[in-house]
Structure formats: C-alpha cells, structure tokens
Amino acid sequence: MKKTIWNTIKKEFLDIYEGICPLSDDDILKGPDDVFRPYLERLNYLASTEIDDHTAEEMFQDQDFQRAIKQISRVKRMNGLRIETACARSVLSGTDPWDQLKQFIYYPNYLGLARMEYQGGELGAGDQVVFLGSGPLPLSLISLYKQYHVRGIGIEQSPEIAELSRDLVRILGLSEHIRIIQGNHFSLPIEARGERRGARGERQGARGENCQMIMVGADALPKDEIFAHLAESLPAGSKVSYRIYEKGLRRLLDDQSVFDLPHEFREYARIRPEPPVNNTSVFVVRSEK
C-alpha cells in the first residue's frame, strides 16, 4: 500500500514538473495565468495530501523529486510575486486602499503570521523589525504594525518592487511606521540586537535604533548565503526569524525549507501553523562570539 501511494504521488508530481518546467519567469509574471494555474492548483492539492512525515522524508531523498522541487519552487515564487504585484497596484488605483487590501485572498494568513512573529519574537508595542525580502506587498510589516504597533523596515532587492512597495505604504498612511529600502542582506541599515534596557528602563537596539528582530522572508534567497552573512555580521543576542514548510508534503512547495543553519545561531522557538497559515515560524538567536 505504501509503495502504491508513493508511486502515485511521484507520478503526479513529476507530471506537474514536466508541465511547468519550460516556463520562463516572464511567462509567469507577464503571460496569461491559464498556462500554469491548473498545474499550481494540482500542486496545492497534492501538497495538502495527508502523509506521515517519515514517508515524506523518504520521498524528498529521491533525486527525481529533488530536481523537480527546485523548478516548481521557482514557478511558485514567480506566481506569488505576480499575485502580490497585482494586488499592490489594485490598492494604489482603488478608492478605498484599506478595503482593497483586506480583500486580498491571503490577508488572513498574514494576520496569523504576524501573531506568530509577535509571539516568537517576544515583541512589544514600539519595537522595530527588519524584514529581508519584503516584496511588493509587505503585509507582514503592515500586519505587525496594525495589530501590535510594531514598526518595520523592509528591504527589497528590486528597485521597481521597492518603489511600488513604498507607494503602497504611503497610500495606506503608514510611511511614518514602515520604511522600505532597496537592497539585500548586505545592506542591512542597522545592527539588530536582542532586547536591552536603557537608563530609564526602555527597550533599545543598536545605534539608537529600536530593532528587536530580523525577519527573513520565505522568498529571500539564497538562504545559506543570507544566514552565513548574518552569522558573521550580527552581534550576540540578535534575534532572527524565518519561515519554512515543515509538515508532510508541504515541503514540495519550497526548495529552501531545508538549509544548514550556521552554528552561531541557536534555535529558541518554533511555532507551527494553524489554519489558514501553512508556514512554520522558526526563531533563532545569535550566540556569544
């Protein structure tokens, strides 16, 4: 029975791979979505299949699976960028920006993710986070501020996407609380630290900045390079969070869910998702040098 299930899943997954492998990034970002949407719908259905973690782990060791996951993850990331860009532009062109934003299909997911980040990061009102790979629709930062008054700095590599994100933050009236910077992990604007107290007992971060945590976005790549740089550059006590697909076949959706965390970081919390959220949030702290 187990072998039959394995063969059925593998055949479906590789069929999806064959269908979307020829697609370029521009095909996904600018072409009609009916070319690839049916494959992604099949993929989401497959990823939700109930299967024990041990069997899933055996599947991920299969070389055919490993090759296919890389390409499928690329298509999924590009489609996510397409969806978020379209939503950001609709918010900017609409008459009620907040109402338009709340209609975004994944808005409830981001509210749940913000709760997880707030809890795992041990954040409080007035704190600040830095988000690497904030994208055109920085809903993680927006949700953290709206729900918990946690301020944010988003770092986005693409100049065009960073500008679109700035316009979105501005039209939502959040420019005083959320700042978007064009750059990558090599251009962190501050040295994030764990919490420390000032003379009056207030929470403080490095260089006068109130920064309690760096968040690494799911689509911030490559994870190995990003975390190697953070391990080298961050001072002891700095907190970092990142998101992974951890349960069963959900890992089919992300080729970056498994990477080697540098020994300088120690995991101190892991919050597993509750519907509609699918990502696990992992929290690590930079050990003493």
| pLDDT single digits (tens) 11-46 | 999 999 999 999 999 999 999 999 999 999 999 999
User: Nearest CA to 129 among 104, 93, 154?
Assistant: 154
- Report the pLDDT value the prediction gives residue 187, as an integer from 0 to 100: 80
User: Nearest CA to 42 among 256, 270, 252, 275?
Assistant: 252
Q: What is the pLDDT of residues 235-274, one digit of tens each?
A: 999 999 999 988 778 877 888 877 889 999 999 999 999 9
Which of residues 76, 96, 116 is at a domain's end?
96
- Specify whether 91 is located in the same domain as 201: no
The tally of domains found in the chain comes to 2
- pTM assigned to the model: 0.89
Which of residues 61, 96, 131 is at a domain's end?
96
Task: Say if CB 218 and CB 254 are below 8 A apart.
Answer: yes
- Asked, for residue 102, whether it belongs to a domain, the answer is no
In this structure, the chain runs to a length of: 289
- Specify whether 203 is located in the same domain as 281: yes
Q: What is the pLDDT of residues 146-203, one digit of tens each?
A: 999 999 999 999 999 999 999 999 999 999 999 999 999 988 875 554 444 333 333 3
Tell me which residue range forms the domain holding 85: 2-96
- Asked, for residue 101, whether it belongs to a domain, the answer is no
Task: Say if CB 69 and CB 15 are below 8 A apart.
Answer: no
- Specify whether 133 is located in the same domain as 200: yes
SS3 149: coil
Q: Which residue has the tokens 């494959």?
A: 39
Q: How does DSSP classify residue 275? A: T
SS3 159: helix
Task: Say if CB 285 and CB 262 are below 8 A apart.
Answer: no
- Report the pLDDT value the prediction gives residue 1, as an integer from 0 to 100: 53
User: Nearest CA to 189 among 147, 233, 227, 148?
Assistant: 233
Task: Say if CB 242 and CB 216 are below 8 A apart.
Answer: yes
- Name 285's bridge partners: 239, 266
